[in-house]
């Protein structure tokens, strides 16, 4: 087992979650709504909000993937570690999807906390969010 994943389990930043499977569709639905909002924001030149909404779409997709295996996250870092261990290492998810989530997290933080955002960043995160939703649906539905 991956050492970082074990560390996240030990610190209870990733936990077993028996109700996870029952919440997968709800998380995917939330991801889809956030994606639609991000698309609408981009069309309205609200690049900051589009970046934030697209990131949250990806976050809810990632959460759905964890829920599908009856895990729950308590840390964005451990969410990414868990995706790598549970999906990428098993060749179920391309590493680029997790890299895109990590990049989107950084862009979301820059937009949210430092008021740094751009049209290009918003478009990039939105494209990644669309791809992530398609992968997540294939994996868990």
Per domain, the residue ranges of the chain are: 3-140
Mean pLDDT along residues 115-127: 97
The number of helix segments (H) and strand segments (E) in the chain equals 6, 2
Mean pLDDT along residues 39-45: 98
Mean pLDDT along residues 107-130: 97
pLDDT at 141 over 90: no
DSSP string, 45-97: T-HHHHHHHHHHHHHHHHHHHHHHTTEEES-HHHHHHHHIIIIITTTSS-HHH
pLDDT at 1: 74
- CATH number for 3-140 (one of 3.90.1150.10, 1.20.120.330, 3.40.50.300, 1.10.600.10): it is 1.20.120.330
Of 102, 93, 104, nearest to 64 by C-alpha is 93
Mean pLDDT along residues 70-83: 96
**Residue-wise pLDDT tens digits, 24-35:** 999 999 999 999
């Amino acid at each position: 087992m991956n050492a970082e994943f074990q560390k996240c389990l030990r610190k209870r930043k990733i936990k077993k979650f028996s109700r996870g499977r029952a919440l997968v569709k709800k998380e995917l639905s939330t991801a889809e709504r956030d994606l639609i909002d991000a698309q609408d924001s981009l069309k309205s030149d609200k690049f900051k909000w589009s970046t934030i909404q697209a990131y949250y779409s990806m976050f809810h997709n990632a959460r759905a993937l964890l829920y599908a295996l009856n895990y729950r996250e308590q840390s964005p870092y451990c969410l990414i570690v868990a995706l790598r261990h549970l999906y990428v290492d098993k060749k179920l998810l391309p590493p680029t999807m997790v890299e895109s989530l990590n990049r989107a997290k950084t862009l979301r933080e820059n937009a949210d906390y430092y008021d740094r955002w751009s049209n290009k960043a918003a478009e990039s995160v939105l494209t990644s969010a669309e791809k992530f939703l398609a992968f997540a649906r294939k994996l868990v539905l």
